[in-house]
Chains A and B, each alone.
Chain A
Amino acid sequence: MKAKVNYEKVKEIFSEAIELPLEKQADFLISACQDDENLLGEVESLLKARRKAENFLEDVSAPNVLHDSINQNGQLIGQKIDKYRIISELGRGGMGVVFLAEREDFRQQVALKLIKRGMDSDAILERFGREREILASLNHPFIARFLDGGTTESGSPFFVMEFVEGISVDKYCRKKNLSVEQKLELFTKICEAVSFAHQKLIIHRDLKPSNILIDTNGSPKLLDFGIAKLLNSNEISETQTQQKALTPAYASPEQIRGEAVDTTSDVFSLGKILSEILQNDKLDNDLQVILQTSMREESVRRYASVEKFSEDVRRYLNGLPISAQKDTFVYRTKKFIRRNYLSVGVAALFSITLLIGLTAIIWEKRKAEQRFNDVRELANSFMFEFHDSIENLPGSTPARQLVVSRALQYLNKLSAESGGDPKLQRELATAYEKVGRIQGNSYYSNLGDTNGAMQSYQKSLEIREKLAASDSNDLELQNELANSFEGVGDMFYTIEDLKSGQSKYQNALNIREKLAQIDSNNLQYQSSLADIYGKIGDITGFEGYANLGDTQGALNFYEKAAATDEKLVQAEPNNHKFEQNFAVRLTYLGMLYRTVGKTKEAIVSLEKAAEILKNLITTEPNNFEFRFNLLTNNVSLRYVLADDGRVDESIILIRQTIKTLEEMQTADPQNASIKRSLGVAHNALSRSLLQKGIYKESVENAKTALQIVEKLLQENPESGENKTDLIHTLEFLAEAQFSTSDYNSALTNYQRALSLTQKSLEADSANVRVQDDVSICLAGIGNILAAKGNLVEAVKNLQKAIPIAEKDFNDSPVNALLRSRLALRYFELGKIYEQITKTDKLNKDSLTEAKIYYQKSYTIWNEMQKNGILNKIDLVNLQSVSNSIKFLD
Chain B
Amino acid sequence: MENAGEITELLQKGDAEALDKLLPIVYQELHKIAEALFRKEYRANHTLQPTALVHEAYLRLVGDVDNIPWQNRAQFFCIAAKLMRQILVNHAIAHKAEKRGGDQTIVALDDAISFFQTQDIEILALHEALENLAEIDKRQAEIVELRFFGGLTIEETAEVLNISPATVKRDWEMAKAWLYRELSNDF
Q: Is the CB of A57 within 8 A of B176?
A: yes
CB distance from A181 to the nearest CB of B (A): 37
Q: Is the CB of A57 within 8 A of B179?
A: yes
Q: Is the CB of A358 within 8 A of B78?
A: no
* A802 at interface by CB-CB < 8 Å: no
Which of B152-187 touch A at CB < 8 Å?
Answer: 153-155, 158-160, 162-171, 173-174, 176-181, 184, 187
Expressed in whole angstroms, the Cα–Cα distance for A360 and B166 within the complex equals 36
* A423 at interface by CB-CB < 8 Å: no
Contacts of A865 in B (CB 8 A): none
Q: A399 touches which one: B16, B27, B121, B166 (CB < 8 A)?
A: B16
CB distance from A228 to the nearest CB of B (A): 12
Expressed in whole angstroms, the Cα–Cα distance for A356 and B67 within the complex equals 27
* A759 at interface by CB-CB < 8 Å: no
Q: Is the CB of A46 within 8 A of B181?
A: yes
A30-68 to B contact mask, C-beta < 8 Å, 1/0: 000000000000000111111011001111110000000
Contacts of B15 in A (CB 8 A): 349
Expressed in whole angstroms, the Cα–Cα distance for A469 and B71 within the complex equals 53
CB distance from B108 to the nearest CB of A (A): 15
Q: A346 touches which one: B75, B82, B174, B177 (CB < 8 A)?
A: B75
Q: Name B181's closest neighbour in chain A (CB-CB).
A: A49
Q: Is the CB of B163 within 8 A of A14?
A: no
Given contacts A53-B177, A133-B64, A201-B71, contact A126 B20 (CB under 8 A): no
CB distance from B178 to the nearest CB of A (A): 6
Q: Name A393's closest neighbour in chain B (CB-CB).
A: B162
Contacts of B187 in A (CB 8 A): 45, 48-49
Q: Is the CB of B162 within 8 A of A340?
A: yes
Q: Is the CB of A57 within 8 A of B144?
A: yes
Q: Is the CB of A260 within 8 A of B19?
A: no
* A353 at interface by CB-CB < 8 Å: yes
Q: A349 touches which one: B19, B71, B160 (CB < 8 A)?
A: B19
Specify the main secondary structure of chain B where it touches its partner.
helix
Q: Name B74's closest neighbour in chain A (CB-CB).
A: A347
* B23 at interface by CB-CB < 8 Å: yes
Q: Is the CB of B66 within 8 A of A137?
A: yes
Given contacts A52-B180, A347-B162, contact A234 B153 (CB under 8 A): yes
Q: Is the CB of A7 within 8 A of B173?
A: no
Expressed in whole angstroms, the Cα–Cα distance for A721 and B174 within the complex equals 52
Contacts of B90 in A (CB 8 A): 362, 374
Given contacts A48-B187, A49-B178, A49-B187, contact A60 B66 (CB under 8 A): no
B33-57 to A contact mask, C-beta < 8 Å, 1/0: 0000000000000010101000000
Contacts of A362 in B (CB 8 A): 90
Contacts of B1 in A (CB 8 A): none
Jot down 21 A-B pairs with beta carbons below 8 A, ordered by A.
A7-B137, A11-B137, A14-B177, A50-B177, A53-B176, A53-B180, A57-B179, A59-B49, A60-B49, A126-B153, A201-B69, A258-B165, A340-B162, A344-B162, A347-B162, A349-B14, A353-B16, A353-B20, A357-B23, A360-B24, A362-B90
A222-266 to B contact mask, C-beta < 8 Å, 1/0: 000000010001110000001000000000000001111000000
Q: Is the CB of A130 within 8 A of B70?
A: yes
Expressed in whole angstroms, the Cα–Cα distance for A50 and B171 within the complex equals 12
Expressed in whole angstroms, the Cα–Cα distance for A53 and B175 within the complex equals 10
Q: Name A378's closest neighbour in chain B (CB-CB).
A: B86
Q: Name which of A123, A137, A233, A352 has the most chain B CB atoms within 10 A of its CB.
A: A233
Expressed in whole angstroms, the Cα–Cα distance for A357 and B17 within the complex equals 11
Contacts of B167 in A (CB 8 A): 259
* B115 at interface by CB-CB < 8 Å: no
B56-99 to A contact mask, C-beta < 8 Å, 1/0: 00000000111101110101001100110010001000000000
Chain A, interface size category, equals 35 or more
Q: Is the CB of B27 within 8 A of A358?
A: yes
CB distance from B40 to the nearest CB of A (A): 19
Q: Which residues of A contact B (CB under 8 A)?
A: 7, 11, 14-15, 18, 45-50, 52-53, 56-61, 123, 126-127, 130-131, 133-134, 136-137, 201, 229, 233-235, 242, 257-260, 340, 343-344, 346-347, 349-358, 360-362, 369, 374, 398-399, 402
Q: Is the CB of B24 within 8 A of A357?
A: yes
Expressed in whole angstroms, the Cα–Cα distance for A259 and B78 within the complex equals 21
Contacts of A349 in B (CB 8 A): 14-16, 19
Q: Is the CB of A357 within 8 A of B20?
A: yes
Contacts of A358 in B (CB 8 A): 23, 27, 82-83, 86
Q: Is the CB of A59 within 8 A of B47?
A: yes
Q: Name which of A47, A260, A362, A374 has the most chain B CB atoms within 10 A of its CB.
A: A260
CB distance from A634 to the nearest CB of B (A): 35
Expressed in whole angstroms, the Cα–Cα distance for A131 and B70 within the complex equals 8
Interface contacts beyond A11-B137, A56-B179: sample of 14 additional A-B pairs, CB < 8 Å, sorted by A: A46-B177, A47-B177, A49-B181, A53-B177, A53-B180, A56-B176, A61-B47, A201-B69, A257-B164, A258-B164, A260-B165, A347-B160, A355-B82, A361-B23
Q: B173 touches which one: A50, A346, A355, A369 (CB < 8 A)?
A: A50
Expressed in whole angstroms, the Cα–Cα distance for A49 and B14 within the complex equals 40
B105-149 to A contact mask, C-beta < 8 Å, 1/0: 000000000000001010000000000000011000000100110
Q: Is the CB of B16 within 8 A of A45?
A: no
Expressed in whole angstroms, the Cα–Cα distance for A402 and B20 within the complex equals 10
Expressed in whole angstroms, the Cα–Cα distance for A356 and B153 within the complex equals 26
Q: Which residues of B contact A (CB under 8 A)?
A: 14-16, 19-20, 22-24, 27, 47, 49, 51, 64-67, 69-71, 73, 75, 78-79, 82-83, 86, 90, 101, 119, 121, 136-137, 144, 147-148, 151, 153-155, 158-160, 162-171, 173-174, 176-181, 184, 187
Expressed in whole angstroms, the Cα–Cα distance for A59 and B51 within the complex equals 8
Contacts of A258 in B (CB 8 A): 164-166
Contacts of B16 in A (CB 8 A): 349, 352-353, 398-399, 402
CB distance from A838 to the nearest CB of B (A): 76
Expressed in whole angstroms, the Cα–Cα distance for A347 and B148 within the complex equals 19
Q: Is the CB of A57 within 8 A of B147?
A: yes
CB distance from A746 to the nearest CB of B (A): 56
Q: Is the CB of A11 within 8 A of B174?
A: yes
Expressed in whole angstroms, the Cα–Cα distance for A45 and B181 within the complex equals 8
CB distance from A241 to the nearest CB of B (A): 9
Q: Name A340's closest neighbour in chain B (CB-CB).
A: B162
Expressed in whole angstroms, the Cα–Cα distance for A353 and B78 within the complex equals 12
Q: Is the CB of B170 within 8 A of A233?
A: no
CB distance from A282 to the nearest CB of B (A): 39
Q: Is the CB of B180 within 8 A of A354?
A: no
Q: Name A134's closest neighbour in chain B (CB-CB).
A: B66
Q: Is the CB of A259 within 8 A of B164?
A: yes
Given contacts A14-B174, A349-B16, contact A127 B153 (CB under 8 A): yes
Q: Name A47's closest neighbour in chain B (CB-CB).
A: B177
Q: Name B49's closest neighbour in chain A (CB-CB).
A: A59
CB distance from A348 to the nearest CB of B (A): 10
CB distance from B92 to the nearest CB of A (A): 14
Contacts of A356 in B (CB 8 A): 20, 23
Q: B154 touches which one: A15, A233, A354 (CB < 8 A)?
A: A233
Expressed in whole angstroms, the Cα–Cα distance for A61 and B178 within the complex equals 23
Q: Is the CB of B47 within 8 A of A60?
A: yes
Q: Is the CB of A350 within 8 A of B19?
A: yes
Contacts of B166 in A (CB 8 A): 242, 257-259
Contacts of A242 in B (CB 8 A): 166
Expressed in whole angstroms, the Cα–Cα distance for A60 and B118 within the complex equals 13
Q: Is the CB of A235 within 8 A of B154?
A: yes
Q: Is the CB of A357 within 8 A of B163?
A: no
CB distance from B106 to the nearest CB of A (A): 10
Top 10 A-B pairs ranked by shortest CB distance? A357-B23, A234-B154, A133-B66, A53-B180, A353-B19, A50-B177, A259-B164, A258-B166, A49-B181, A49-B177
Expressed in whole angstroms, the Cα–Cα distance for A883 and B154 within the complex equals 83
Expressed in whole angstroms, the Cα–Cα distance for A47 and B67 within the complex equals 43
CB distance from B111 to the nearest CB of A (A): 19
Q: Is the CB of A56 within 8 A of B78?
A: no
Q: A354 touches which one: B83, B148, B151 (CB < 8 A)?
A: B83
Q: Name A344's closest neighbour in chain B (CB-CB).
A: B162
Contacts of B137 in A (CB 8 A): 7, 11
Contacts of B65 in A (CB 8 A): 133
